[in-house]
Amino acid sequence: MNNFTFYNNTRIHFGEGQISAIASEIPQNKKVLVLYGGGSIKNNGVYEQVQTALTDHDWDEFSGIEPNPQYDTLMKAVEKINNEGFDYLLAVGGGSVIDGTKFIAAAACFKGNDPWDIVSKYAPVDTALPLGSVLTLPATGSESNGGAVITRGQDKLGFGSPLVRPAFAVLDPTTTLSLSARQSANGVVDAFVHVMEQYLTYPVNAKVQDRFAEALLLNLIEEGPKVLRTPDDLEVRANIMWSATQALNGLIGAGVPNDWTSHMIGHELTGNFGIDHARSLSIVLPAVMDVCRVEKEAKLLQYAQRIFGINEGSTEERIEQAIGSTIAFFKSMGVPTTLSEVDLDISSIEVLLNSLEAHGMTALGEHGKNDLIKARAILETAL
Ligand code: NZQ
Ligand code: ZN
């Protein structure tokens, strides 16, 4: 196992009715800005619960943070904060609202000239407004991690800082009952790929991380199709919600190599062609497994055996079956697994490679060896 330092100080309030916990989480003397997206929280009772919990607080709201949160929208919130003096942010929504709020928290305190530098030049985040989160879409893990992904035009870029990790996260599975089948499936697939990118590298004898990751994969494979069949089953929703949080709260990725190739190529698919985040991943991951099968061989065999019970056949046959089983799982979730399914052909590959190069994504993978040649092979395999 590699050396690591692990610290996650997000307090989790899990279960029905837990939105009321924000009343005591946010200090009484804070002026709170509640941030949300396109209005789903007004249709599923979440907004009312937040309103009730904040009865004794001084607060206002900012709405309209879009999926793949847009820089220009977020800067409008920064302007409101600077004009009206808010000193606590509450993100209510999915990963986009929480990520957007993290950027706003950092940008509102940014001392440099251009807050876009936070994502485009990794300008250091020295201070940030405190924030909390009420999660309504289990997927990204953003509710208890320090990462965020922001979009400006075709540029979809990330940043991370412990200063923007939410102080608390409310995870009430009943808030997820209003999700569409598409968003529910997206969430399961995104969480699944987060686990895979921290697991499917090379062995470092990190047994806790491996077996914890395998538990999350098995849960998602078991519960994922159920959420499409029985969307009102609260126990299924609860298990998915907790799995997605654990998938990217830092625990399983500590002390092990990580490979975020699928996410980095996926971000270009979203930035250039508007493909949903999770659907970009279900297209790219099987191709990464295929093209990187030599460097990932030992973990691919472990994955084949422990997740799908594949014990028979040659190494190549077992790897083929593991990739096939992964694709079958994605298909059972109704997400695409090839570029052609989202109407992209070979001409898209040049666009994607140019974007990867422009964003400096030319040394990806657990060994830093996934260059543009490898990215081309991955994208051609994904056709
Ligand atoms: O805007 P509203 O009205 O809230 O509607 C949203 C949005 O249209 C809707 N929704 C959310 N909760 C709902 C609901 N609809 C009905 N009922 C509910 N309970 O779902 C739509 C999608 O929401 P979004 O927040 O965009 O989805 P998701 O949570 O998948 O977030 C995706 C974003 O997170 C980033 C992605 O790149 C993408 O920008 N990621 C962030 C990460 C992180 N911070 O660690 C890691 C991830 O890999 C990912 O990159
Ligand atoms: Zn993701």
Question: Is 5 among the domain residues?
Answer: no
Distance, C-alpha 233 to centroid of its chain:
23
The DSSP secondary-structure symbol of 65 reads P
pLDDT tens for each residue of 182-201: 999 999 999 999 999 999 99
The domain of 324 spans 181-381
- Out of 122, 146, 176, a domain closes at 176
Do both 97 and 41 map to the same domain?
Answer: yes
pLDDT tens for each residue of 86-112: 999 999 999 999 999 999 999 999 999
Q: How many domains does the chain have?
A: 2
Do both 233 and 353 map to the same domain?
Answer: yes
Antiparallel, parallel or unpaired: β 88-93 and 58-62: unpaired
Q: Which residue shows structure tokens 């996650």?
A: 8
- How far, in Å, is the centroid of ligand 1 from the Cα of 268? 17
Do both 222 and 148 map to the same domain?
Answer: no
- Out of 135, 155, 176, a domain closes at 176
pLDDT tens for each residue of 141-185: 999 999 999 999 989 999 999 999 999 999 999 999 999 999 999
Q: Which residue shows structure tokens 């190494």?
A: 315
As given in the structure block, the two tokens for residue 2 are 């590699």
Do both 199 and 221 map to the same domain?
Answer: yes
How much of the chain, in percent, has pLDDT values that exceed 90?
A: 99
What mean pLDDT is predicted for residues 245-252? 98
Do both 151 and 26 map to the same domain?
Answer: yes
Do both 101 and 16 map to the same domain?
Answer: yes
Buried b (16+ CB within 10 A) or exposed e, 16-41: eebbebbeebbeeebebbbbbbeebb
Which stretches of 66-109 are assigned E, i.e. beta strand?
88-93
Which CATH number goes with the domain that contains 190? 1.20.1090.10
Pocket of ligand 1 (CB under 6 A): 37-40, 44, 67-68, 93-97, 99, 136-137, 139-142, 145, 147-149, 175-176, 178-179, 183, 186, 190, 248, 263, 277
Identify the band that residue 221 occupies on the pLDDT scale cut at 50, 70 and 90.
very high
Q: What is the reported pLDDT for 191?
A: 98
Do both 144 and 278 map to the same domain?
Answer: no
pLDDT tens for each residue of 107-132: 999 999 999 999 999 999 999 999 99
> 10 Å Cβ neighbour count for 121?
12
Q: What is the reported pLDDT for 73?
A: 98
Do both 156 and 196 map to the same domain?
Answer: no
Do both 27 and 77 map to the same domain?
Answer: yes
Return all residues near 205 (Cβ < 8 A) that are at least 6 apart: 1
Smallest CA-to-CA distance from 203 within 283, 306, 291 is with 306
pLDDT tens for each residue of 44-68: 999 999 999 999 999 999 999 999 9
As given in the structure block, the two tokens for residue 305 are 């055996």
- Out of 120, 151, 176, a domain closes at 176
Question: Is 4 among the domain residues?
Answer: no
Task: Determine the residue of 62, 99, 143 to mutate for testing ligand 1's pocket, defined as the one with the most ligand atoms within 8 A of the Cβ atom.
Answer: 99
pLDDT tens for each residue of 7-23: 999 999 999 999 999 99
Do both 69 and 167 map to the same domain?
Answer: yes
